[in-house]
Each structure stands twice: as structure tokens, then as C-alpha cells.
Structure 1
Amino acid sequence: MYSACLRVRVWRKRRQDNGATPDDITRTPPVYPCSRSSRLQQLMRGDEGYLLALAYSTQRGYGRNHPFAGEIRSGYVELEIVPEELGFAVNVGEMLMTECEMVNGFVDPADEPPHFTRGYGLVFGMSERKAMAMALVDRALQAPEYGEHAVGPAQDEEFVLAHADNVEAAGFVSHLKLPHYVDFQAELELLKRLQREQKNG
């Protein structure tokens, strides 16, 4: 939509590939604060409902976002592996993905001209809503880079990323239905002791 217009000197802070290998959160657990590659991987794996709620919060004044959908697109990407014994790439299939780039409110830094900022979302399947939500949360998490004060949960990196994994969240909540006899007995004994102490003065 707005992408063609925005190629005209409104981006100052360009994302450049410095050649560094991106973090792999499946091999190395994230450490906060995260690199951008680690942050985007965690958001991509995050629960859609969770991301949607955080993205919505940024629109209601808790994240300094006033976005425009710069580009939303979906399509199939080829999936390749490079087996060690062959030494060259082999196509093993294709995967449907959805990508979104959100154009957000501009910033006016002292040392460079005013310019727009942006957030990025890339998700598996045909899921425009999740890609848009991810892009909004990605931009909210860039607050420190732009010298913005964190005013909402969507701007707290550790809070957002540590709670985005729905498999971990579902497992942790579901385990509460299992018996917790020892824990309950310990708390019950403590409660009885406190009641006795209060009664006896």
C-alpha cells in the first residue's frame, strides 16, 4: 500500500545485514536483552491470541504505536537443506508464509532528520492477523532503540518474549490440575501455625 511512497527518503535507519550468523533459539536459549534475530524468532513462535492482545494494547495507548500497513503478502517459499555428504542445496519442499511490514509513527532524533519507524512480522501459513500483530509488537519492543520510555507491557522485552510460547504456557497452567498434596499440606501447616500464634498472642 504505502511501500512505494515510502521509498522516498523517509527511512533513515535501514536494517543492514552485517554478515553475522543469526541466533538460533532452538539451540541456544535466549538471554535478555535479546538480539533482533532472537526476538523475531520468539515472536514468530508465539501464540496468536497473546500477540494480538499485546498488539491491541499498543493501539490503546500502551506502546506509542500509530501504524499503517506498509505491505502484507503471503506466498510459498522453497525449503532447502545442504546435506554434508552432497555439499549442495537440495529442495525438500515449500512452505506457505505470511509477511507484514508495519509503518509506524515517526521519530525526530536530534542527530538525524525525522523519519518513520517500522515493525516486521513473518509467520507460517496464511495468517495476516498474526503477522500484523507480530509487526506491531516488534515495533513496540524497539522502544529502547529510539530512546522511548516503556509505558506498557508490549514494550517490556522479557515480559513479552518469556510468556509468548503457548506450548510452555499451556503445560504450566495444565499441570495445576495434578495433585499437589505436599505443597498443600505444607501451606496448611503454616496457616495453622500462624493462626495458633495469633490466638496465643
Structure 2
Amino acid sequence: IEAEAPDDTPAPDLTRSPLELPASRALRLQALARGDEGFLLSLAYSTQRGYGRTHAFVGELRIGMVEVQAELPELGFAVPIGEIELTECESVNQFKGSRTEPPQFTRGYGLVMGQGERKALSMSLVDRALRWRELGEDFTGAPAQDEEFVLSHCDNIQATGFLEHIKLPHYVDFQAELELVRRLRAETMQEAAE
């Protein structure tokens, strides 16, 4: 199984700075953890059906309570402030190798708040699909491999807001399109008459 590369780089905080592409794996995992379960489920299912070249096995799936700590600069140490339930999934995927990596099993990772096995597993499959470049694989055009598509569309709050705004009046937009359609129809009818 692929060895985990040590990385002491502080992870960027998606809540404090906008998403920039290409994104680091740490930033992608944050976006996926915040993403809509149904969207991730659909993408994960597509990878299992052949879009994204992954066929995963559950390596580890666990649910448990973790302590939340707050770092208090005045005290100089962390203070426990409560506990939250998390679901963590590590998937193991067959990998035939590439120009840069030998054949091996690779991993995908998912971590979600609460008891959410389906979302954690879905997240791990999408994470693995998004790692194609890192592993030297070819891009197959699969939606789950397209970082911009996945990360730009997994945020259900943003998606809901954009769709809900359609219910608001769009008088100016509609009037402009109505005038365009009328003009195009008039031109078409005039050409047909000639």
C-alpha cells in the first residue's frame, strides 16, 4: 500500500481564504468535507462504474468521539472545550502504476462530522479520483477527476443560493431576451419571404 508522505506544511483554511485552483490535497479535503453528500455520492458512484478508473475497497471505516481543544495564547496551552462525533474512511484502490509510480494500492480519504458512513466513503473515492495527477495517471475526462468541476460544484450552500435567486424578478434580463427573440424571428420570417 502506498506510503503516506510526511507533510508538516500547515493546511490552508478554506473558511478564511477563497479557493484557488489548482488546490492542495489538504484544501480539496476541506472542500469535500463541506460538500453536499448527494453530489459526492453521485461522483463516487460514477468512479465505481468506470468513470475515473478506481475500484475501491474499504480499508478502514470508523466512527467515534474526538476531543475539541482551543489554543489559548494567554495560558500557553490547549484547553478541552468539548467533543464531537466524526466518521473517518480510508479506501484502498488498485493502481496499475504509471510512468512515475510503481503498481501498488493507493488510498483515498474521507472525514466528516457526525455519523456519516456514506458521505465519508464517497469523499474517499472522490479524493482518490482527484489524485490522478499526483500519481502520474492520465486524465480520462471523468467528472470526478476534474478538480475545478468537483470543488466548484460540491458546495450546496452556494449552489442553493444561485438556484434560489432564479425565483427573483429578472425583468431587465427577460425584456432583453424577449427583444432579441422578436428580432431574430422577424429576420427569419423576412428571409423566408424573400
TM-score, L = length of structure 1? 0.90
- Is 1:89 the counterpart of 2:87 in the alignment? no
1:200 is displaced (CA, Å) by: 3.1
What is the distance in 2 between the residues matched to 1:191 and 1:106?
53
Residue matched to 2:170: 180
Unaligned runs of 5+ residues in structure 2 are none
Match of 2:137 among 148, 171, 180: 148
- Is 1:139 the counterpart of 2:128 in the alignment? yes
Structure 1 residues 36 and 111: alpha-carbon distance in aligned structure 2, compared to 1, 3 A threshold: closer
Residue matched to 1:25: 14
SS of match in other structure, 1:85:
coil
Match of 1:100 among 89, 112, 115: 89
Superposed CA RMSD in Å reads: 1.4
What CA deviation, in whole Å up to 9, does each residue of 1:140-195 have, x standing for no partner?
Answer: 00111122222210000000010001111111111111111111001001111222
Structure 1 residues 90 and 198: alpha-carbon distance in aligned structure 2, compared to 1, 3 A threshold: same
Residue matched to 2:160: 170
Q: Which amino acid aligns with 2:53?
A: R
How many pairs are equivalent?
A: 190
1:107 is displaced (CA, Å) by: 3.0
SS of match in other structure, 1:28:
coil
After superposition, residues 40-59 of structure 1 pair within 5 angstroms as: 40-59=29-48
SS of match in other structure, 1:91:
strand
CA contact (8 A) 1:76 1:96 kept: yes
What is the distance in 2 between the residues matched to 1:87 and 1:191?
67
Structure 1 residues 119 and 112: alpha-carbon distance in aligned structure 2, compared to 1, 3 A threshold: closer
Match of 1:115 among 104, 119, 142: 104
CA contact (8 A) 2:64 2:85 kept: yes
What is the distance in 1 between the residues matched to 2:189 and 2:175?
21
Q: Which amino acid aligns with 2:106?
A: T
After TM superposition, the structure 1 stretch with the greater mean CA deviation from structure 2, 176-185 or 141-150, is 141-150
Structure 1 residues 113 and 181: alpha-carbon distance in aligned structure 2, compared to 1, 3 A threshold: closer
Residue matched to 2:189: 199
1:79 is displaced (CA, Å) by: 0.6
Runs of 4+ in 1 over 6 A off after TM superposition: none
What is the distance in 2 between the residues matched to 1:80 and 1:160?
31
Aligned residues with identical type, % of pairs: 59
